[in-house]
Amino acid sequence: GTYRTSDGRGGCDGARIRFDPENSWGDNAGLNEMLELLKPIKTRHGAALSWGDLIVLAGSTAIESMGGPKIGFCGGRVDDVDGSESLPLEDSAPGMNHLIYVDAGNATGQDVREAFAKMDFGDRETVALVAGGHTFGKCHSSRSGFEGQWTHTPTRWSNSYLQNLLNLDWELVDSPAGNGKKQYNHTSGLMMLVADFEMKEDPTYRGFMEEYLNDGDLLKADFGRAWEKLMNRDMGNRPCLGEEVATPALTVDYVEVKKAVKEMLRNDRRATDFNHYGPLFVRFAWHCAGTFRGTDYRGGCDGARILHAPEKDWPDNDGLVVGDDEPQQELAKALLQPIKDHFGDGLSWADLIILAGSAALEDMGGREVRICPGRSDVSAEDAAAGSMYLDPTIYLNPENATASDLKRSMRIMNFTAREMTVLNGGGHAIGKAHKSKSGFEGPWTHTPTIFSN
């Protein structure tokens, strides 16, 4: 539940809940007991079973054993050695870092909506998750500050949570923990949280609650889908452990593709880029691949989403696929179009963009770049969905970004400080900044078409 779309951080991959800061968050009170219960299983299977996979599998198995929906499992999480990657998650409002979602004793329906939207959940999915999740278990005053259970059958799947919330009479009382928090109690001994009630009062949430109240099978199915999404959101596009990944059938001679790119590099007749297309093609490849997030495996050049909205229209990508100042024939995509046409459907745009950037670097004096083909192209619809949460600035604002900002940005892409340094040093050894695109003007070196130190 810590996953967030803004930078792909969080989630159970890494199993950082074992370490501080997550281990000390108030909302995680008591979960060390769960880790102790699972420890014999972890010990039995050793390194072959990660804590991240075990925690997710244990939760899903528990749901199934209590009569809930069948939950699909996607293994392959890798455990972190400490909790340092969770430190960026502690950016909530003062005093709120201990919360996974919201302050359940003081949250409005809109608070719930905003918290779940950060994880890419819509209103229907949120209701399904809450209604299904509150079917089970109870609150403990020693942990959450609230006391009681939502249903009379807290270890068995049912539609009782919604039946109770929507149909029973409730009284707002002080929590028995004596901590000043409020909760709703029923004379039968059940309880509801303020957040439960506020969701009920929200017209959109209320509509979905009533729909699920009248169709328990739909709730069960939707809860199962939402739970799978919650568990696997941080896995991104990675294949699950043991999943067979089809090897692409390569029908193109990629050495010839690279040769074709190199043959055209010095045919540049523009007056803006030193009569060499190399810097433009490097930028095309950089901006296509530079959206990748190692935090949740979104982005990257596979799919060639840079050819479609929204990426093609990002200001940082001006002059690559569309442009305000250049003639159409001088755009990076248009320049590569004859090569794409010559090699046909067997050559994806994604591979061509990367090969063009690599060929340009080699031609300008860089080392030979290994060819790793096999990328595919996606439709405009899939591109829009895949680019939804990526950063339109590609990396950061070059005018006011600090070294710390750059480190955070590169860390999201899984680059070390050394790799970050050589990427920037090498990338800025060639080409120039254009006032009409970035707001800056001029080259970084006196030899912008020769790779140098």
What are the tens digits of pLDDT across the range 137-151? Answer: 999 998 899 999 999
- Token reading at 259: 């040769």
SS3 377: strand
SS3 206: helix
Chain length of the chain = 453
In single-letter form, the type of residue at position 216 comes to G
What are the tens digits of pLDDT across the range 104-131? Answer: 999 999 999 999 999 999 999 999 999 9
CA–CA dist 164, 294 (Å, integer): 43
The predicted pLDDT at position 95 comes to 52
Mean pLDDT check: name the lowest of 96-110, 202-216, 404-418: 96-110
DSSP result, 185-252: E-TTS-EE-HHHHHHHHSHHHHHHHHHHHT-HHHHHHHHHHHHHHHHHGGGTTPPPTTPPPPPP---S
Please provide the average confidence, as pLDDT, over all residues in the chain: 93
Give the Cβ contact number of residue 95 at 10 Å: 8
What are the tens digits of pLDDT across the range 352-402? Answer: 999 999 999 999 999 999 989 999 999 999 999 999 999 888 777 888 889
Mean pLDDT check: name the lowest of 152-156, 171-175, 397-401, 445-449: 397-401
Enumerate residues 6+ apart whose C-beta is below 8 A from 205.
109, 112, 123, 126, 127, 199
Cβ density class 216-242: b for 16+ within 10 Å, e for less: eeebbebbbebbbebbbbbbbebeeee
pTM, rounded to two decimals: 0.88
Q: Report whether pLDDT(96) > 70.
A: no
What are the tens digits of pLDDT across the range 158-192? Answer: 999 999 999 999 999 999 888 889 999 999 999 99
CA–CA dist 220, 413 (Å, integer): 37
What are the tens digits of pLDDT across the range 26-83? Answer: 889 999 999 999 999 999 999 999 999 999 999 999 999 999 999 999 999 999 999 9
